[in-house]
A and B are shown apart, each in its own frame.
Chain A
Amino acid sequence: MKHRWLVLLLSIFTFLSFIVAMMFGVAHYPPGEVVASLFTAGASEGASAILYEIRLPRVLAAFLAGLMISISGLVMQTVTHNDLSEPSILGVNAGANFAIVISTLLVPALSFAGMLIGGFAGGLLVGVVILFVTRFKSPIHLILAGAGISLFLYAMTDFLVITNNLGQYLAFFTSGGAAGVSLAQLGIIAPVALIIISVLYVLAKELDIFLFGDEMAASLGQNHKVYQVLTLVCAIMLASMSVAIVGNVVFLGLLVPHIVKMIAGYMHRVTIFYTGIFGGALFMLSDMAARVLNETPVNAIIAMIGLPFFIYIIRTRGRKYA
Chain B
Amino acid sequence: MTSVTIENMDLTIDEKDILKDINLELMSGKITTIIGPNGCGKSTLLKAVSNIIRASDGSVYINDLDIRQMKSKDLAKKISILSQKNRLQYDLKVHDLVGFSRYPYLKRFRGLSPEDHKMIDWALTETGADEFRDRMMSELSGGQAQRVWISLLLAQGADVLLLDEPTTYLDIHHQLETLNIIRKLNQKAHQTVVMVLHDINQALKYSDEIVVMNKGRVIKTGTPAEVLTNETLNEVFNINGKITTDPVTGKPVLTDYELFCRTVDGRES
Contacts and interface: CB of A to CB of B under 8 A. Distances in A.
Contacts of A218: 50-52, 72
A221 B92 contact: no
A215 interface: yes
A301 B89 CA distance: 31
A220 B156 contact: yes
Assign chain B's interface to a size class: 20 to 34
A216 B83 contact: yes
A159 to B, nearest CB: 40
A225 to B, nearest CB: 11
B33 interface: no
Given A202-B108, A209-B103, A220-B100, A215 B73 contact: no
Interface in A197-251: 202, 205, 208-209, 211-213, 215-216, 218-223
B76 A219 contact: yes
B97 to A, nearest CB: 9
Q: Size class of A's contact patch?
A: 20 to 34
A81 interface: yes
A267 interface: yes
Contacts of A216: 83, 86
B91 to A, nearest CB: 8
Contacts of B96: 267
Given A220-B156, A221-B76, A205 B90 contact: no
B155 to A, nearest CB: 11
Nearest to B109: A202
A266 interface: yes
Given A216-B83, A219-B50, A267-B96, A211 B90 contact: yes
Interface string B188-227: 0000000000000000000000000000000000000000
A221 B101 contact: no
B100 A221 contact: no
Interface string B84-113: 001011111100100011011010110000
Contacts of A261: 90
Nearest to A220: B103
A266 B104 CA distance: 20
B74 interface: yes
B89 A221 contact: no
Interface of B: 47, 50-52, 71-77, 80-81, 83, 86, 88-93, 96, 100-101, 103-104, 106, 108-109, 156
12 contacts: A202-B109, A205-B106, A209-B100, A212-B88, A216-B86, A218-B72, A219-B76, A219-B83, A220-B101, A220-B156, A222-B73, A265-B93
Q: What 6 pairs across the A-B complex have the smallest Cβ distances?
A: A221-B76, A221-B73, A221-B104, A221-B72, A220-B103, A266-B90
Given A208-B100, A215-B52, A220-B103, 15 more contacts: A205-B103, A205-B106, A211-B89, A211-B92, A212-B88, A218-B50, A218-B51, A218-B52, A219-B52, A220-B76, A220-B156, A221-B75, A221-B77, A221-B104, A265-B92
